[in-house]
Amino acid sequence: MKRYVKWLTLALSLLVLMAAASACGGGNNNNNDAAESGSAALADRKTYKWFVARGVDSPPAVTVKEIADEFSKTHPEFELVLEGTGDRPSYLQKLRTLIASNEMPAMFDTDPDAYASKLVQEGKLVDMKKVLQDLGKYEDFRPISLQYQQFADGSMYTFPLEYGIEVFWYNIKMFKDIGIEPPKTFDEFMNVSETLKQNGITPIAVDGKDKWPVLRYLAYKPFRMTGNDFIENVKQGKASFKEPAGMAGIQFVHELGTKGYFQKGFASTDYTAARDLFLAGKTGIYYMGSWETMNFVNDKVNAEMKDNIGFFRLPMTEDAKTADNDYFINSGIGVAFNKETFDDTMKGFLKFLLEKYPEAYTKKGQFSPFNYSLDQTQGMPELFYKIQDEIAKSGSVFAVPWDTRLDPATNELLGTELNALALGAYTPDDFAELMDQAIKENAPKYFK
C-alpha cells in the first residue's frame, strides 16, 4: 500500500511538471501551429499556368507577374507561373497540342480567330465580356481595345493587355540627307523606296519569319479601298482575291519583294533582327506598332539614331474609303481563360489585376488598353508623348489583321506562301488562284 501511494504521488508530480512545462512553452506551440498553418496553405496552393505568346519578359507579361506576386502575398493559395515559347507559329502549334491533350492552361494568349471560335463552341472559354461587365470594368477600356478582341457577332472571350497603333517608323536624318519626305500616298511610298535603294540604302526592314508582318503589307491597299469588307467577304468565299482590292494587295507585296525593297534574307529574319537592322541605320523604314516606342529611346540605341526616329501613317489610295487616321489599331493578342479552372481564386485575381494594371503598365512606357494616359510631368521621352498624341487623334475605324479572320488552314498556307510571292516564286495571278482555291476547300468547315 505504501509502495502504491508513493507511486501515485510520483505520477501526480510528473503531471504537474508536464502541465507547467506546457504553460511555459505556450509560445512555441503557437509557432508550431502557425508553421503547420503555413504548411497547410502551401499544401493547398493552386498553381495556375499562363501560356504566353508575347514572351515572358515582355512588358505585359512582366506587369501581370508582378501583380500576381503581390496578390499571392495576401492569397497564399494562389500562384501564377508563366510559360512561353519561341516564335508565334511554334507557340500556336504547342497551344493546340496542349488543348488536344486535355492540358489547356488556366490562361493563354489567343486572337479572336477561327480556332478560338471553335473552342467557344465547345464551351471551353470564359465569356470575358460578361465578366468585365459584372466587375464594372467594361467601360474602363478604350472602345477599340475591346472591339479588337470581339468576334464578328460581338461576343468576346479574350481581354486585352496592350494597345497600340501601327505606323511606319523612319530614319529622319537619312530622309533629309537624300531629300525625301515621309510619303502620304502609296505612289509616293514606292518612289521613296526606289530613291532609298538608288542611294545604296535598303528601303524596308521586315520580319518575314513570323509571317504576320509581311501579311500586313498584303492588307494595306485592300483596307484603304474597302475598309474591312474585302477580308470579311473573301474569308468566306463571297469575294475573290482576283478582285481589284485583292490584286492590289498581291501586286504590292510582289513588287516590294522583287524590286528588292525588303532586306536580303527577309524570309528568315526574325522580329528582333528586323528591328535591329533599322536601329543600326541599315534601312530607312520599319513598320511596327507603338509598343516599340521605348525600344527606340532607351540607352541601348546608338547615338546616331537617338532622337532621329520619326513615324508616318499608312499611306492613302485614290478614292480611299477610310480616312488617313484610320489604320491598324489593335490591343494585341488577347488573354483567354480556361472555363474549368476559372474558380473563385482566379476571379479574385482577375479583379485585383484590373485594378492595378493600368498604372503599372503605363509607367513602363507602354500604352494601356484602359482609358489611362500620362501627362508631361511624368518625365517620359518626347517620342512617347508624340505617339500618345497620335493615339488620341486616331480614327474610329481600324484594320483587322487578316490572320485573325481567315480559317486556320488557309491562314497557314497564306503565311507560308506570301514570302514566296515576294521572292517572285508566284506571279500575282497564280497567287490569287492559289488563295481562292484554298478558301474554297477550307472555309466551309469554319464559316457556315
**Could you tell me which of 259, 238, 280, 290 has the C-alpha nearest to residue 405?**
238
> Which of 20-24, 225-229, 295-299, 375-379 is predicted least confidently?
20-24
- Give 20's pLDDT tier (boundaries 50, 70, 90): very low
Per the listing, cell 540605341 goes with: 301
- Give 42's pLDDT tier (boundaries 50, 70, 90): low
Per the listing, cell 474554297 goes with: 440
| Contact assessment for residue 392 and residue 384, using Cβ atoms and an 8 Å cutoff | no
Q: Return the pLDDT at 35.
A: 45
Q: Return the pLDDT at 151.
A: 92
Instruction: Using the predicted structure, report yes or no on whether residue 270 has a pLDDT greater than 80.
Output: yes
Q: Return the pLDDT at 297.
A: 92
* pLDDT tens digits, 61-108: 999 999 999 999 999 999 999 999 877 888 999 999 999 999 999 999
C-alpha cell at 185: 500616298
Q: Return the pLDDT at 19.
A: 42
| Predicted structure pTM score | 0.79
Which 8-state DSSP code applies to residue 426? Answer: S
Instruction: Using the predicted structure, report yes or no on whether residue 1 has a pLDDT greater than 50.
Output: no
CA distance 90 to 338: 21
Whole-number percent of the chain with pLDDT over 70 = 90
Q: Domains of the chain, with CATH numbers? A: 45-161+332-368 (3.40.190.10), 165-329+399-445 (3.40.190.10)
CA distance 407 to 411: 6
Q: Return the pLDDT at 52.
A: 97
Enumerate the β-bridge partners of residue 175.
none
What is the average per-residue pLDDT within 267-295?
Answer: 96
C-alpha cell at 397: 475605324
